[in-house]
Amino acid sequence: MPSPTRAPQTVALALVLTVVMTGGTLPSSVYRTYEQSFGFGLVTVTVVYASYAAGVLVALVAFGQWSDVLGRRPLLAAGLVAAVLSAGCFLLADGVAVLLVGRLLSGLSAGIFVGTATAAVTETARGSWTRRAPLVATTANVTGLGLGPLLGGLLVAWAPAPMRTPYAVHLGLCLAGLVVVALLPESAERAGPAGARLHRMRLAVPEEVRPFFVATGALGLAAFAVLGLFTAVTPTIAAEVLGVTGPVAVALLISTFYVGSAVGQVALTRLGEGTWERVAAAALVTGMALLALAMVTGWWPVLVLGGLVSGLGHGVGFSQGLATLVAHTPDGTRAAVTSAYFAVVYVGMSVPVVVEGLTSAAVGVVPAGVGFAAVVAATVAGAYALSRRSGRRARPGATLVG
């Protein structure tokens, strides 16, 4: 286990990461209240939601390598400051414009924080925990994302000022996180080589990696499109299709996806290449079939099962897909390839859900939901076929890089 001097630091970093990621999904349980109070519809909800992904993308590209130069603590503090500003925007929100700014800042916070905190957790781990550090960081990440809707739902249901209280609580937690980061020592052995300069992350995919990138990227895009649907559109589906309007019940419906994703990312880490693609594809296609069935029948237990199964597919497809891509990528280009992968999946998290909102406004929630499920299932099937082809194109007997 970590040495006594480092174990508290590892735990503290993981807890602060959980707090920051909670902010990413906290508004999910409040969207329906915003619709009723500010008088907008599902299209606006999806645009507000998608601005989070835009913030993450900006952070990944603009600040992705800064902590290697400046050290971990300054970037951790910057991520927390962005989270505090985001919570402040939601506290003061009186219309769509402020919500958009708040979500953009929340995405910036997550994009800055998650990679830096993961590196810091890894650097503070000692002994047998060194190999478990990535799992600790992943667990903290998905725990925060899963807690967001639950915390929001509970506070909307039982606390005063339902559009303010969730963010007041999160603001307090982020301020506490800033104090923790200020008290922690720098975890990086050195903050970059002498004369190192800050620069924008370069997105590039070498030719020899492209078959794997296309296959894993397509599957990741589909998986994150499903994540976007469950996070942004579930409150509307619950109210208009299932007749479920209670904020706690809606929060539990949203959280089923994150429970499934956590199982996929944390418990199913030993699936071999070839096996994980089958598991992820089968889970995502099955989850979409269950989503379509729930939309047509209005049975909420079917949506719960669909969320769990889809989440499992997301967790396996994301974690194992990224690991496979990194393993097939030469050392000198891993940062660029990884950033390109995240760019693809976060586009998947944002653009399809906005299209879903526009389609719902045009033809109705149920036809749009069934159509979304069909498109995602077709995309997953195509991605699986590409992954099989890329596997056959790999050199016989070749070993994974790294």
- In order, the DSSP letters of 298-320 are --HHHHHHHHHHHHHHHHHHHHH
pLDDT in the model for residue 129:
62
pLDDT confidence of 5, banded at 50, 70, 90? very low
Q: Return the minimum-mean-pLDDT range out of 202-216, 219-233, 293-307.
A: 202-216
Q: Which domains are assigned to the chain?
A: 1-185 (1.20.1250.20), 202-402 (1.20.1250.20)
Give me 252's structure tokens: 């539990």
Closest CA to 210 of 91, 323, 340: 340
pLDDT in the model for residue 4:
45
pLDDT in the model for residue 72:
80
Predicted confidence (pLDDT) at residue 399 exceeds the cutoff of 60: no
pLDDT in the model for residue 267:
78
DSSP state for residue 235 in the 8-state scheme: H
Between CA 401 and CA 337 the distance in angstroms is 14
Is residue 36 exposed (0-12), middle (13-18) or buried (19+ Cβ within 10 Å)? exposed
- Helix locations, 64-164, DSSP H: 66-70, 72-92, 96-124, 133-158
pLDDT in the model for residue 402:
30
pLDDT in the model for residue 393:
45
Between CA 267 and CA 289 the distance in angstroms is 24
Residues 109-127 have a mean pLDDT of 78
> Highest mean pLDDT: which of 67-71, 131-135, 385-389?
385-389
Contact 314, 226 (CB under 8 A): yes
Predicted confidence (pLDDT) at residue 320 exceeds the cutoff of 60: yes
Q: Of all residues in the chain, what percent are helix, strand and coil, respectively (each to 5)? A: 80, 0, 20
Q: What is the pLDDT of residues 42-67, one digit of tens each?
A: 889 889 988 998 898 888 878 766 76
Contact 17, 141 (CB under 8 A): yes
Q: How far is CA 390 from CA 4, 208, 211, 281, 395, in A?
A: 46, 11, 5, 16, 10
Q: What is the mean pLDDT of the chain?
A: 82
Predicted confidence (pLDDT) at residue 203 exceeds the cutoff of 70: no
Q: Which residue has the higher pLDDT, 396 or 120?
A: 120
